[in-house]
Chains A and B, each alone.
Chain A
Amino acid sequence: MKAALCFAGAAYFCIMKRLTILLLFAMFAVRAFAQKDSLAFDENNKYIYYQVVAQQGTAADSLFSRAVFFFDKGYPQVSLKTTGVTKAADARSINATGSFLVSKKSLVTSHEDGSVSFTMHVDVKEGKYRYWLTDFVFNPYQRDRYNNYVSVPGIYIPLEKPEGKIDKKDLVGYLDGVLLGSRKIGAKLKEFMLKNPPLQKKPEVKKISTKDW
Chain B
Amino acid sequence: MKKKHLLFGLLAASFVTTKALAVSMPADTGKTAAADPPLVLSGSVDTYYKADFSGHSNIPTSFANENNSVSIGMIDLALKKKVGKAAFVGELSFGPRSDQSIPTSGYHIQNLYVSYDVTSAFNLTAGYMSTFIGYEVISPAGNFNYSTSYLFTSGPFQNAGFKATYAFSDKVSLMAGIFNNKWNYYSSLSTNGQTYGDVSTFGAQLMVAPVKGWTAYLNLITGSYSGTEFDLTTAYQITNAFKLGLNAATFSAPNNGGGFSGVALYPQLAVSPVVTFGLRGEYFKVKDNGGDVKALTVTSNIKAGPLTIIPEVRFDTKSDAFGASFTDSNGMATNHASQFLLAAVYAF
- Could you tell me which A residues sit within 8 Å of B by CB distance? 9, 12-13, 16-17, 19-20, 23-24, 26-27, 30, 34, 75-76, 78-80, 98-112, 142-149, 152-157, 164-167, 169, 173-174, 176-178, 180-181, 183-185
A145 with B18, Cβ < 8 A, contacts A154-B213, A176-B23, A180-B23 known? no
- Could you tell me which B residues sit within 8 Å of A by CB distance? 1-2, 5-6, 8-9, 12-16, 18-32, 38-42, 78, 80, 89, 91, 110-111, 113, 120, 129-132, 137-139, 141-142, 209, 212-215, 235-240, 243, 272-274, 305, 347-348
**In the complex, are the beta carbons of B22 and A20 less than 8 A apart?**
no
Cβ-defined partner of A16 (8 Å) among B6, B110, B273: B6
The answer for the CA separation of A17 and B8 in the assembled complex, in Å, is: 10
A103-B25, A108-B18, A154-B212 given. 10 additional CB < 8 A pairs? Answer: A27-B15, A27-B19, A34-B23, A79-B32, A100-B27, A111-B42, A147-B42, A147-B80, A154-B214, A181-B26
Q: Which 6 A-B pairs have the closest CB atoms?
A: A154-B213, A154-B237, A177-B26, A145-B130, A16-B5, A79-B29
The interface residues of chain B lying within 8 Å CB-to-CB of A13 are 1-2, 5
Task: Write the chain A residue with the least CB distance to B306.
Answer: A104
Report the minimal beta-carbon distance from A30 to chain B, rounded to whole angstroms: 6
The answer for the CA separation of A194 and B215 in the assembled complex, in Å, is: 44
Task: Write the chain B residue with the least CB distance to A29.
Answer: B16
The interface residues of chain B lying within 8 Å CB-to-CB of A78 are 30-31, 120
The interface residues of chain B lying within 8 Å CB-to-CB of A185 are 29
Cβ-defined partner of A23 (8 Å) among B16, B113, B274: B16
The interface residues of chain A lying within 8 Å CB-to-CB of B8 are 20
Report the minimal beta-carbon distance from B203 to chain A, rounded to whole angstroms: 14
Cβ-defined partner of B5 (8 Å) among A20, A146, A178, A183: A20
Q: Which of B6, B22, B139 has the most chain A CB atoms inside 10 A of its CB?
A: B22
The interface residues of chain A lying within 8 Å CB-to-CB of B347 are 143
**In the complex, are the beta carbons of B305 and A167 less than 8 A apart?**
yes
Q: Which of A80, A103, A112, A148 has the most chain B CB atoms inside 10 A of its CB?
A: A148
The interface residues of chain A lying within 8 Å CB-to-CB of B238 are 154
The interface residues of chain A lying within 8 Å CB-to-CB of B5 are 13, 16-17, 20
20 sample A-B contacts, Cβ–Cβ < 8 Å, listed by A number: A16-B9, A19-B9, A99-B29, A100-B27, A101-B28, A103-B22, A105-B22, A108-B41, A111-B80, A143-B42, A145-B139, A146-B111, A152-B237, A153-B214, A154-B213, A154-B238, A167-B273, A167-B274, A173-B22, A180-B24
**In the complex, are the beta carbons of A109 and B213 less than 8 A apart?**
no
The interface residues of chain B lying within 8 Å CB-to-CB of A100 are 26-29
**In the complex, are the beta carbons of B131 and A145 less than 8 A apart?**
yes
Report the minimal beta-carbon distance from B2 to chain A, rounded to whole angstroms: 6
The answer for the CA separation of A55 and B30 in the assembled complex, in Å, is: 30
The interface residues of chain A lying within 8 Å CB-to-CB of B120 are 76, 78
The answer for the CA separation of A146 and B127 in the assembled complex, in Å, is: 11
**In the complex, are the beta carbons of B31 and A79 less than 8 A apart?**
yes
Cβ-defined partner of A106 (8 Å) among B22, B28, B80: B22
The interface residues of chain B lying within 8 Å CB-to-CB of A183 are 27
**In the complex, are the beta carbons of A148 and B89 less than 8 A apart?**
yes
The answer for the CA separation of A184 and B27 in the assembled complex, in Å, is: 7
The interface residues of chain B lying within 8 Å CB-to-CB of A112 are 25-26
The interface residues of chain B lying within 8 Å CB-to-CB of A148 are 80, 89
Report the minimal beta-carbon distance from A180 to chain B, rounded to whole angstroms: 4
A146 with B130, Cβ < 8 A, contacts A20-B5, A157-B240 known? yes
The interface residues of chain B lying within 8 Å CB-to-CB of A152 are 237
The interface residues of chain B lying within 8 Å CB-to-CB of A157 are 240
Cβ-defined partner of B273 (8 Å) among A99, A108, A144, A165: A165
Report the minimal beta-carbon distance from A27 to chain B, rounded to whole angstroms: 5
The interface residues of chain A lying within 8 Å CB-to-CB of B32 are 75-76, 79
Report the minimal beta-carbon distance from B149 to chain A, rounded to whole angstroms: 15
The answer for the CA separation of A106 and B42 in the assembled complex, in Å, is: 12
**In the complex, are the beta carbons of B12 and A24 less than 8 A apart?**
yes
**In the complex, are the beta carbons of B23 and A105 less than 8 A apart?**
yes
The answer for the CA separation of A128 and B155 in the assembled complex, in Å, is: 63
**In the complex, are the beta carbons of A12 and B2 less than 8 A apart?**
yes
The answer for the CA separation of A20 and B5 in the assembled complex, in Å, is: 7
Task: Write the chain A residue with the least CB distance to B348.
Answer: A110
A110 with B42, Cβ < 8 A, contacts A20-B5, A166-B273 known? yes
**In the complex, are the beta carbons of A23 and B13 less than 8 A apart?**
yes
Task: Write the chain B residue with the least CB distance to A31.
Answer: B19
Cβ-defined partner of A98 (8 Å) among B29, B240, B274: B29
The answer for the CA separation of A104 and B19 in the assembled complex, in Å, is: 11
Report the minimal beta-carbon distance from A54 to chain B, rounded to whole angstroms: 25
The answer for the CA separation of A39 and B41 in the assembled complex, in Å, is: 30
The answer for the CA separation of A157 and B203 in the assembled complex, in Å, is: 36
Task: Write the chain A residue with the least CB distance to B132.
Answer: A145
A146 with B29, Cβ < 8 A, contacts A105-B19, A153-B215 known? no
